[in-house]
């Protein structure tokens, strides 16, 4: 019996080594890994540059308190703000901390400018923002909140893609609208560009902040952020998963306007932004910012799309829809997603489920076309077996 608290329904498989797109199980079996720690190892397993960085940094300095200036943190923040909408970054260790920081920053802003009554956040059904108490009740998924009451107040929720309900739910207390640019756990549901633009306009009209949760989709679509192709700027963006390439790292990016409330002492984290994590975050950017890297993610996304669409056309009773952009993909299945995932595992490929009977595919961004072909081949095999 395991001494680990039983909060996961784990598969009875473990791994000893990872290299790029592959994982090696304890029994020696080699798996094509399209889970990648749930969209986390953006550069695959044990990327050379990350391994070298962590080795070198581990011999210099691991951790110092945020009571001191941390040059690696200054550098990562500068690179993140130079290349995005943001003017400031605050570092965390996880996605849920990044979304919680977003909520705090939104509320503090209105408090600071003398509108403390604006303190409620609007969210959408099917959202996922993390497992700490506020993030849990922000997303308000009954599967996750049951038994964890009393409810954390300050959130109002509307159905996804229901403009009328959204407009109706806004009132004088609304501080922010928080939405995932691509709903991850909810089933890789892409919020279309015109909706992102519409949300921005609505927020501007009603003096509301726009928080785009990019914890799962950042770096993956072929743009740095998924919202970028809509051409708008949000106010606050929490990120995590991919930005540490597998090392625990979260961040909350904000514009100058909303930063005014966050003065010394208003927020903090013991570990957030320590030299070791910052070295890795910087190393991930070294690769992502290489000329043509993100363009290549777009190309590979298209290539993957073509292959997946071919299988969908061939097996229209098995695959209902291909969702996602770039290298964040979802297959909405017409057969049981869990059974399909199990059969893919028999063919030595790892994937992960999401809501709406979806199978999520997270190839590492360094994936090559041969590996994408291998994935397509395996998915096709299972389609054949299940038809
Ligand atoms: C995973 C996720 C979170 C929570 O991240 P953790 O690192 O698990 O705390 C928050 N928001 C979104 C969109 C996520 O996908």
CA dist., res. 61 & res. 316, Å (int) = 55
What ligand 1 atom has the least distance to the C-alpha of 127?
13
What ligand 1 atom has the least distance to the C-alpha of 240?
7
Residues 250 and 381 in one domain: no
Residues 163 and 254 in one domain: yes
Residue 219 Cα to ligand 1 middle (Å): 15
Per the CB < 8 A criterion, the answer to whether 132 and 96 are in contact is yes
CA dist., res. 253 & res. 265, Å (int) = 18
Q: What is the pLDDT of residues 289-306, one digit of tens each?
A: 999 999 999 999 999 999
Q: What is the pLDDT of residues 196-250, one digit of tens each?
A: 999 999 999 999 999 999 999 999 999 999 999 999 999 999 999 999 999 999 9
Please indicate, yes or no, if residue 4 is contained in any of the structural domains: no
Please indicate, yes or no, if residue 7 is contained in any of the structural domains: no
- pTM for the model stands at 0.98
Q: What is the pLDDT of residues 152-170, one digit of tens each?
A: 999 999 999 999 999 999 9
Tokens in use for 8?
A: 């996961």
CATH code of the domain in which 240 resides: 3.40.640.10
Residues 282 and 302 in one domain: no
pLDDT at 1: 86
CA dist., res. 244 & res. 265, Å (int) = 26
pLDDT band at 267 (very low <50, low <70, confident <90, very high): very high
**Structural domain containing residue 336:** 15-33+292-386
pLDDT at 134: 98
Per the CB < 8 A criterion, the answer to whether 218 and 80 are in contact is no
Residue nearest to atom 10 of ligand 1 (CA): 129
pLDDT at 273 over 90: yes
CA distances from 368 to 7, 189, 348 (A): 35, 25, 18
Using CB distances shorter than 6 Å, the residues near ligand 1 are: 94-96, 99, 128-130, 180, 184-185, 213, 215-216, 240-241
Mutational test site, ligand 1, from 127, 182, 189, 216, max ligand atoms within 8 Å of CB? 216
Residue 251 Cα to ligand 1 middle (Å): 11
Mutational test site, ligand 1, from 38, 91, 100, 128, max ligand atoms within 8 Å of CB? 128
Please indicate, yes or no, if residue 90 is contained in any of the structural domains: yes
Tokens in use for 213?
A: 């949760």
CA distances from 173 to 202, 203, 206 (A): 15, 13, 11
Residue nearest to atom 11 of ligand 1 (CA): 129
Please indicate, yes or no, if residue 39 is contained in any of the structural domains: no
Q: List, as own/partner pairs, every contact residues 301-307 make where C-beta atoms lie below 8 angstroms and the sequence separation is at least 24, other chains included.
A: 301/221, 301/222, 301/325, 301/326, 301/327, 301/329, 303/369, 303/372, 304/329, 304/361, 304/363, 304/372, 304/375, 304/376, 305/329, 307/372, 307/373, 307/375, 307/376
Task: Count up the domains in the chain and report the number.
Answer: 2
What are φ and ψ of residue 351, in 5° steps? -140, 175
């Amino acid at each position: 019996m395991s001494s680990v608290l039983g909060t996961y329904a784990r598969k009875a498989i473990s791994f000893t080594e990872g290299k790029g797109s592959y994982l090696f199980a304890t029994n020696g079996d080699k798996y094509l890994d399209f889970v990648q720690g749930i969209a986390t190892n953006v550069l695959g397993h044990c990327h050379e540059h990350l391994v070298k960085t962590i080795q070198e940094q581990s011999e210099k300095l691991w951790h110092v308190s945020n009571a001191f200036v941390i040059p690696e943190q200054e550098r990562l923040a500068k690179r993140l703000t130079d290349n995005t909408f943001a003017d400031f970054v605050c570092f965390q260790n996880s996605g849920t901390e990044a979304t919680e920081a977003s909520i705090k920053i939104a509320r503090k802003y209105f408090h600071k400018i003398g509108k403390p009554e604006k303190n409620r956040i609007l969210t959408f059904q099917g959202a996922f923002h993390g497992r700490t108490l506020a993030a849990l009740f922000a997303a308000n998924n009954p599967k996750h909140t049951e038994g964890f009451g009393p409810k954390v107040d300050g959130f109002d929720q509307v159905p996804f893609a229901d403009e009328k309900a959204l407009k109706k739910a806004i009132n004088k207390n609304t501080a922010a609208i928080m939405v995932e640019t691509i709903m991850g756990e909810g089933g890789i549901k892409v919020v279309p560009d015109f909706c992102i633009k519409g949300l921005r306009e609505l927020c501007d009209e009603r003096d509301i902040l726009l928080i785009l949760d990019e914890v799962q989709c950042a770096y993956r679509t072929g743009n740095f952020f998924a919202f970028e192709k809509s051409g708008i700027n949000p106010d606050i963006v929490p990120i995590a998963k991919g930005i540490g390439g597998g090392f625990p790292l979260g961040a909350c990016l904000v514009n100058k306007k909303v930063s005014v409330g966050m003065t010394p002492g208003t927020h903090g984290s013991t570990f957030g932004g320590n030299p070791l994590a910052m070295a890795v975050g910087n190393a991930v950017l070294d690769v992502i910012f290489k000329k043509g890297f993100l363009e290549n993610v777009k190309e590979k996304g298209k290539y993957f799309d073509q292959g997946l669409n071919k299988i969908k056309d061939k097996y229209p009773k098995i695959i209902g829809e291909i969702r996602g952009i770039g290298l964040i993909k979802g297959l909405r299945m017409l057969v049981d997603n869990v059974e399909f995932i199990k059969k893919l595992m028999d063919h030595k490929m790892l994937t992960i489920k999401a809501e709406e009977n979806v199978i999520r595919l997270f190839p590492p961004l360094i994936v090559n076309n041969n590996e994408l072909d291998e994935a397509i081949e395996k998915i096709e095999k299972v389609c054949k077996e299940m038809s």
